[in-house]
Structure 1
Amino acid sequence: MASSGFSPAAPPVFNGERFHIWVVKMKTYLQAFDLWEVVNLDAEPAPLRANPTVAQMRQHADERTKRHKAMSCIQNCVSDVIFTRIMACETPKEAWDKLKEEFQGTERTRQQQLLNLRRDFENMKMKEEEIVKQYSDRIMVVVNNIRPLGEQFSEARIVEKVISTLPERYEAKISSFEDSRDLTTISLTELINALYAQEQRRASRLEEHQEGAFQAKAKPTSSTFAQKGKKTWKDKSRYENTRKRDQSCRYCKRAGHPEADCWFRPDAICQHCKKKGHVDRFAKTKANRGRTNFSNQRLKHE
């Protein structure tokens, strides 16, 4: 009998979905109250012998009551919609078999489901964008759908499936496993944790490498600053000179020369005669004219 101090959680309620999960939970729930044998075997308690004792009578009554307790558990662990399908059943085994037949299918249906699930299991491969834990979760979903249908799936078979369908990036880790121990003795949890640790180390190294490359690219050297500064001042001076040449002179109203070099400035000084009012070009012209006139007059006298 169940211990008087045991208080199980609330019973699972079946609403028409995920029957294979509800079956496992419900079986455990009935076992906790020592009621599973009543549902599974559906055996009537042995009749009382002549002149039974009080203890025998009490035990017989408890055995008969178990059937009603099991029936009550099954009825209260399904939704109202599902209850209408088993309300005509008189024994807990009859109600249990009714639910299995409707939601788990007949033997032929179960064999077809099992065949499809086996095919899915055999065709599964790890995707490049997946991590190993995501892949193992996908595998276990299929395995957990196969097991309730009567297929025995050993852990060694699942480990073999994972190892044989891993991408090439796990080849070194698998080789180290093969050299150090027998792969048939390794558990699925141990394998997944070891491969996940390798993924974490690879991701950490990749992140450090990317961060170092980014810092090296973002940090300029002193020579870079000098070159950039030199180039900037040089380009700035060239830009200023170009901009000044493009501006019109306020004295002659022409472009192409700075105002300080304009010949038409009122304060311009002739470099030939050192006087204001004309520029060097005109002074040289006047001097040439004077020398030419003097030479002509001399020729006439001669």
Structure 2
Amino acid sequence: MEGESSFSVVAPPVFDGEDYQVWAVRMEAFLDACDLWEAVEEDYEVPPLPGNPTMAQIKTHKEKKTKKSKVKNCLFAAVSPTIFSKIMSLGSAKAIWDFLKNEYKGDERIRGMKVLNLVREFEMQHMKESETVKMYVERLSGIANKVRILGAELTDNRIVQKILVSLPERYEATIASLENTKDLSKISLAELVSALQAQEQRRMMRQEGTTEGALQAKWQQNSGDKNKKWKGKKGAAGSSENAATESNSNTSSKGGKYSPCQYCGRKNHPHYKCWRKPDMRCRKCKKLGHAEIICKEKETQQQEAQSVAALSGLQAQEHFDPETNYCYWDDSGEALPDFVDGPEAQPTTPYVQKKRKLSTDDDHGN
């Protein structure tokens, strides 16, 4: 009784209107395991109890009545709500079973059409690149089982032939080896599948080894790049330290002044930035002891260049007239025309902008 009660906990297969043949086989096995298939197959009537029944008669009557109720309840629970609405008015389990069989199994003509459709589907199958041998064989076997349930025959030998002609190119070596060592017309489905799976496992192991080698090479390359970067950073340690020192100095200068410079005594710069370091060579005068920016020779040369430029500009713009003791010049810097002889001579008006009388200090450059 404990075994029966624990087994009855398993729910029956549910029929939703598709694949009746599969559901019928599973449902029959379920009812038989529950000791209820007899009530469907025989469709017996439970006679009433006689007067003064014995205990055995009462027990037998109760068991038969309980079985009929249980099998009817199982059939109601094993169909979808749509199908339940069609069978809920039927009185016995036998009537329910026959209705489902006539409604969904169909006659010979309909079953023949279903077989043709399944065989066509079987012939169109090809193994996909992403599939394994096991997945492909299970797909073909599922179609073959549906054909067999409909009453047609689809042998394992036919499945073997289908597998051999529909495998991808990567299995050609295995097929050629089987052709040379075995009779393919007599090879079993299990033997073929085992040989193909062995070849598939070897190929996957090689791919894993290749992938592992590629990952290791990539890891080594990345490690080498990191070492190069570390060496570069280590080589630039001096400049980094200087930059860090400068940054720290700048940071400290924000809060206060620098300590007195050991070269010039000033406090507005760190000693390593001093322009008067003894070992510093000027790029202008090539002398030691100062930087180019404070070179006195450079300042002298700049002043001389400015004086020459000012003098040349004045010479280009001024013109002295010794007769009138006046000097004329043009603000635009253009050359003035020659003067006309005579004390009353004046420069041509468009070019003369201003005039001034030279003093005795300016006369003749004295």
Aligned to 1:138: 139
1:36 and 1:187, CA in 2 relative to 1: closer, same or farther beyond 3 A?
A: farther
Query: Does the CA contact (< 8 Å) of 1:11 and 1:26 recur in 2?
Result: no
Deviations 1:240-283 (A, max 9, x none): xxxxxxxxxxxxxxxxxxx9896x52539xxxxxxxx9xxxxxx
Query: Aligned residues: percent identity?
Result: 40
Aligned to 2:98: 97
State the one-letter code of the partner of 2:192: L
Query: Does the CA contact (< 8 Å) of 2:43 and 2:93 recur in 1?
Result: no
Superposed counterparts of 1:1-302, under 5 Å: 5-6=3-4, 7-8=6-7, 9-14=9-14, 16-20=16-20, 21-40=22-41, 42=42, 44=44, 65=65, 67=68, 69-183=70-184, 186-213=187-214, 215-216=216-217, 219=220, 264-265=284-285, 267=287
CA distance in 2, matches of 1:159, 1:57: 58
Q: Which has the larger radius of gyration?
A: 2
CA distance in 2, matches of 1:25, 1:154: 22
Query: Does the CA contact (< 8 Å) of 2:12 and 2:27 recur in 1?
Result: yes
Larger helix share, 1 or 2: 1
Q: Which has the higher contact order (CA 8 A, sep 6+)?
A: 1
1:77 and 1:185, CA in 2 relative to 1: closer, same or farther beyond 3 A?
A: same
Deviations 1:125-167 (A, max 9, x none): 1123322222223223322332332223333322232222112
1:138 and 1:69, CA in 2 relative to 1: closer, same or farther beyond 3 A?
A: same
CA distance in 2, matches of 1:56, 1:266: 134
Query: Does the CA contact (< 8 Å) of 2:15 and 2:78 recur in 1?
Result: no
CA distance in 1, matches of 2:36, 2:149: 21
Moved more, 125-134 or 60-69: 60-69
Once the 2 structures are TM-superposed, how far is the Cα of residue 29 of structure 1 from its aligned partner? Answer: 1.2
Count of matched residue positions in the alignment of Structure 1 and Structure 2: 226
State the one-letter code of the partner of 1:265: C
Once the 2 structures are TM-superposed, how far is the Cα of residue 187 of structure 1 from its aligned partner? Answer: 4.5
Once the 2 structures are TM-superposed, how far is the Cα of residue 96 of structure 1 from its aligned partner? Answer: 1.1
State the one-letter code of the partner of 2:85: T
CA distance in 1, matches of 2:218, 2:77: 68
CA distance in 2, matches of 1:56, 1:218: 83
State the one-letter code of the partner of 1:78: V
State the one-letter code of the partner of 2:176: S
1:214 and 1:19, CA in 2 relative to 1: closer, same or farther beyond 3 A?
A: closer
- TM-score normalized with structure 1 length: 0.57
CA distance in 2, matches of 1:195, 1:94: 49
Once the 2 structures are TM-superposed, how far is the Cα of residue 202 of structure 1 from its aligned partner? Answer: 0.8
1:32 and 1:217, CA in 2 relative to 1: closer, same or farther beyond 3 A?
A: closer
CA distance in 1, matches of 2:194, 2:58: 54
Deviations 1:94-146 (A, max 9, x none): 21121133334444333222211110101111123322222223223322332
What stretches of structure 2 of length at least 5 have no aligned partner?
Answer: 48-53, 233-279, 289-296, 298-366
What stretches of structure 1 of length at least 5 have no aligned partner?
Answer: 48-53, 233-258, 269-276, 278-302
1:76 and 1:187, CA in 2 relative to 1: closer, same or farther beyond 3 A?
A: same
CA distance in 2, matches of 1:193, 1:143: 20
Over the aligned positions, Cα root-mean-square deviation in angstroms equals 4.3
CA distance in 2, matches of 1:143, 1:33: 29
Once the 2 structures are TM-superposed, how far is the Cα of residue 61 of structure 1 from its aligned partner? Answer: 5.2
State the one-letter code of the partner of 1:30: L
1:33 and 1:55, CA in 2 relative to 1: closer, same or farther beyond 3 A?
A: farther
Query: Does the CA contact (< 8 Å) of 2:12 and 2:77 recur in 1?
Result: no
Query: Does the CA contact (< 8 Å) of 1:13 and 1:79 recur in 2?
Result: no
- TM-score normalized with structure 2 length: 0.49
Aligned to 1:239: none
State the one-letter code of the partner of 2:285: R
CA distance in 2, matches of 1:118, 1:90: 39
Query: Does the CA contact (< 8 Å) of 1:11 and 1:29 recur in 2?
Result: no
State the one-letter code of the partner of 1:117: L
1:198 and 1:44, CA in 2 relative to 1: closer, same or farther beyond 3 A?
A: same
